[in-house]
Amino acid sequence: MTASEKKFLKLVGANIAKLRREKGLSQLDVCAEIKMEKPNLSSIENGRQNVTSLTLLKIAKAINVDVKEFFEI
Amino acid sequence: MTASEKKFLKLVGANIAKLRREKGLSQLDVCAEIKMEKPNLSSIENGRQNVTSLTLLKIAKAINVDVKEFFEI
DNA sequence: CCAAGGGTTATGATATATAATAACTATTAT
DNA sequence: ATAATAGTTATTATATATCATAACCCTTGG
């Protein structure tokens, strides 16, 4: 994994966390809705995971945003 | 995989293919640049693959668009 | 003090994305 | 007719995302 790839995953994760908080949701709230364990969401929000499209879709639905918002710079 | 998830992957794949063609690139052009085999790109463009963020990043770079464009409805 | 809520880190099992090859169709050019 | 270009389908091996559990660090409230 290159440095720019790491940076990219960090950005995606940070965007998810930011949007989630703006909606007043905890990691646990989101996890409950999409049946994900909180360590895994944490891992994604911290950019340690090369998350798949469908996982992004589930998260986006849970926090009521469009997936594309996760990729805003 | 639910029907709406399938639909979502189809949309992402169709967006990739559309943007690639708009840039005048063949699947092989993109594959050469990102060292991917053409059956795999075909699989993604046809929505048969739950593509990861980093793979989307590579494709986006190769066709010179932002990843978020792959998620436009 | 201790319990609860929110988040992180580490780790192992299982499912699946990716990488790779071969064979196929269809179209276009020689 | 045949060679080349563009794309698809099928299949296998390997890498890794996901799922799951346990243990930890805060901060805040009782």
Contact present, B60 and B66 (Cβ < 8 Å): yes
Nucleotides of D under 7 A from a protein CB: 5-11, 16-23
Give me the pLDDT at residue B49, please. 97
Q: Determine the 3-state secondary structure of A52 from DSSP.
A: strand
Q: Tell me the residue type at A46.
A: N
**Nucleotide nearest B30 (Cα, C1'):** D6
CATH of domain B3-71: 1.10.260.40
Q: Enter the pTM of the model.
A: 0.95
A27-62 pLDDT tens trace: 999 999 999 999 999 999 999 999 999 999 999 999
Q: Tell me the residue type at A17.
A: A
Backbone angles phi and psi of B65, in degrees to 5: -135, 170
Q: Do B53 and A1 touch (CB under 8 A)?
A: no
Could you tell me the pLDDT band of residue A8, with boundaries at 50, 70 and 90?
Answer: very high
B5-44 pLDDT tens trace: 999 999 999 999 999 999 999 999 999 999 999 999 999 9
Residues in chain B: 73
Nearest beta carbon to residue A9 from set B5, B53, B73: B53
Answer yes or no: is B46 CB < 7 A from strand C.
no
Contact present, B30 and B60 (Cβ < 8 Å): no
Cα–Cα distance, A36 to A41 (Å, whole number): 7
Put simply, the chain B residues between 18 and 47 with a CB less than 8 A from any chain A CB are none
Give me the pLDDT at residue B17, please. 98
Is A56's Cβ below 8 Å from some Cβ in B? Answer: yes
Sorted by where each begins, the domain ranges of chain A are: 3-67
Q: Do A8 and B54 touch (CB under 8 A)?
A: yes
CATH of domain A3-67: 1.10.260.40
Question: Straight-line distance from CA B65 to C1' D22, in Å?
Answer: 43
Cα–Cα distance, B18 to B46 (Å, whole number): 11
CA A12 to chain centre: 7
